[in-house]
């Protein structure tokens, strides 16, 4: 486990994790290297998953090579850093344990550790497979299931459920789509105005919205063979369906911390929500582990669970790690900003919505309708922003 270089390990290569790895590589002294540990073969552009589960021909573009993570021109000594394709099975006070060997070792030591493992969503919000080919085939199969179904029930009124309902009805207006939300509003973490906007859009598209009700999920799950079955709600209502889309239940990916001895029973994980307890500096709340940070959705920071506000975590992490390397106190803290979202409501229509900034005395949300959407959600621009140069359309399949 020895190395001439000191390791700063980032666990999780999604939006915040990959950006954190890049930022750390820019600011760390040359005696340190960044290891970005991620089990997936490609970066998963999760924002496009709901769309590509419905609209065919673009699904292969949702998976982008990690090859350019450390090729930013601002990164000195870029060859020092590496993307490690592996899963961190366990975190210990001095090292992480991988599920497969990297450079002949499964135990990798660290000086600093940043956990950016996020949450797990039901498919198609996330993929079961680690490799691109199987994930692309999953999307193709899912698209066929939607195409074949006349009656579709969507469970969950968050962004994934809302976006899929709109896309399905816009692509196939003849289908019967029902969205069931257990609470009184869809998008419940946002100002009620967003519920009003979504409800009006559902009426335009003839999406049936059921609120304050729950789906009774059979122990064996719902059939997925295209047959017609009944979806029963808690109030006894029965809805015919050939397909149920589950868009609920984010599960925090914290299993890797089960091997880290806590100072007290709940010093690492918040028992109420399952997220990792952190200080405003994003260090673990447990003072035994000041060199371990949690960033992005996995952190119980009080910030909204979304990629854009979590990008603030990247700078705070990098500055605090450098301060600690220099023997100084890590004093950079995150600012909690109002929840915001950029959400599609069909192939073209989308909305930018931000909750009121109550700290500043605002009581009304900001929102802006846009009609600049594309069926592929501008995915090729995402490849370019991630530094992947594509000279031929066939390279999107790589």
DSSP string, 201-227: HHHHHT-EEE-S--B---TT----SS-
Domain boundary residue, one of 247, 262, 290: 247
pLDDT in tens, 184-240: 999 999 999 999 999 999 999 999 999 999 999 999 999 999 999 999 999 999 999
According to DSSP, the β-strands at 6-11 and 32-37 are parallel
Per-residue pLDDT of 87-127, as tens digits, reads 999 999 999 999 999 999 999 999 999 999 999 999 999 99
User: What order of strands is seen across the sheet that includes strand 340-344?
Assistant: 340-344, 350-354, 366-370
Same domain, 172 and 243: yes
List, for residues 257-298, the tens digit of each pLDDT value.
999 999 988 889 999 999 999 999 999 999 999 999 999 999
Q: Which two tokens stand for residue 242?
A: 């050939």
Q: Would you say residue 3 has pLDDT above 60?
A: no
Tell me if residue 243 falls in helix, strand or coil. Answer: strand
Whole-model pTM: value is 0.95
Q: Are residue 242 and residue 256 in the same domain, yes or no?
A: no
Assess whether 199 and 276 both reside in one domain.
no
Distance CA 153, CA 156 (A): 10
Last residue of a domain, one of 325, 344, 361: 325
Say yes or no: 15 and 43 in one domain. Answer: yes
Domain span at residue 11?
6-121+250-325
Is the distance from CB of 356 to CB of 364 less than 8 angstroms? yes
Number of domains in the chain: 2
Same domain for 39 and 94, yes or no, is yes
Q: What pLDDT does 1 receive?
A: 42
Instruction: Check the CA dihedral 47-53-54-58 and report its sign.
Output: positive
Q: Report if residue 371 sits inside a domain.
A: no
Dihedral angle over CA of 360, 356, 372, 245, nearest 10: 140
Residue 2 pLDDT exceeds 60? no
Please report whether residue 139 resides in a domain: no
Does residue 342 sit within a domain? no
Query: 242 and 270: one domain?
Result: no
pLDDT of residue 266: 87
Q: Is residue 379, in this structure, part of any structural domain at all? A: no
CATH of the domain at 319: 3.50.50.60
Alpha-carbon torsion (100, 103, 106, 107), positive or negative: negative
Q: Per-residue pLDDT tens for 163-195? A: 999 999 999 999 999 999 999 999 999 999 999
Please check whether residues 226 and 270 belong to one and the same domain: no
Average pLDDT, rounded, for the chain: 96
Q: Are residues 200 and 226 in the same domain?
A: yes
């Amino acid at each position: 486990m020895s190395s001439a270089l000191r390791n700063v390990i980032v666990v999780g290569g999604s939006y915040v994790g990959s950006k954190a790895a890049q930022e750390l590589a820019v600011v760390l002294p040359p005696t340190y290297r960044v290891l970005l540990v991620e089990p997936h073969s490609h970066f998963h552009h999760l924002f496009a998953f709901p769309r590509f589960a419905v609209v065919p021909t673009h699904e292969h573009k949702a998976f982008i090579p990690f090859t350019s993570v450390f090729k930013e021109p601002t990164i000195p000594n870029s060859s020092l850093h590496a993307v490690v394709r592996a899963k961190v099975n366990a975190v210990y006070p001095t090292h992480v344990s991988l599920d497969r060997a990297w450079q002949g070792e499964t135990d990798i030591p660290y000086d600093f550790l940043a956990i950016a493992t996020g949450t797990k969503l039901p498919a198609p919000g996330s993929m079961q497979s680690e490799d691109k080919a199987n994930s692309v085939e999953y999307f193709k199969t899912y698209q066929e299931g939607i195409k074949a179904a006349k009656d579709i029930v969507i469970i969950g009124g968050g962004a994934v459920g809302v976006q899929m309902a709109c896309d399905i009805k816009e692509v196939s207006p003849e289908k019967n789509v029902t969205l069931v939300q257990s609470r009184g509003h869809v998008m419940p973490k946002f100002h009620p105005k967003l519920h009003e906007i979504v409800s009006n859009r559902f009426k335009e598209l003839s999406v049936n919205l059921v609120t304050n009700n729950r789906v009774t999920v059979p122990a064996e799950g719902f059939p997925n063979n295209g047959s017609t079955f009944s979806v029963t709600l808690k109030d006894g209502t029965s809805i015919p369906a050939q397909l149920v889309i589950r868009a609920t239940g984010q599960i925090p990916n914290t299993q890797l911390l089960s091997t880290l001895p806590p100072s007290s029973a709940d010093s690492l994980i918040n028992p109420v929500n399952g997220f990792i307890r952190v200080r405003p500096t994003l260090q673990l709340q447990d003072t035994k582990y000041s060199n371990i940070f949690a960033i992005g959705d996995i952190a119980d920071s009080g910030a909204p669970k979304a990629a854009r506000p979590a990008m603030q975590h990247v700078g705070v992490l990098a500055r605090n790690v450098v301060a600690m390397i220099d023997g100084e106190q890590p004093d950079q803290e995150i600012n909690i900003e109002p929840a915001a979202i950029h959400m599609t409501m069909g192939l073209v229509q989308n909305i930018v919505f931000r909750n009121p900034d109550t700290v500043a005395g605002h009581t009304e949300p900001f929102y802006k309708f846009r009609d600049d959407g594309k069926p592929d959600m501008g995915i090729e621009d995402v490849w370019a922003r991630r530094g992947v140069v594509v000279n031929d359309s066939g390279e999107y399949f790589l």
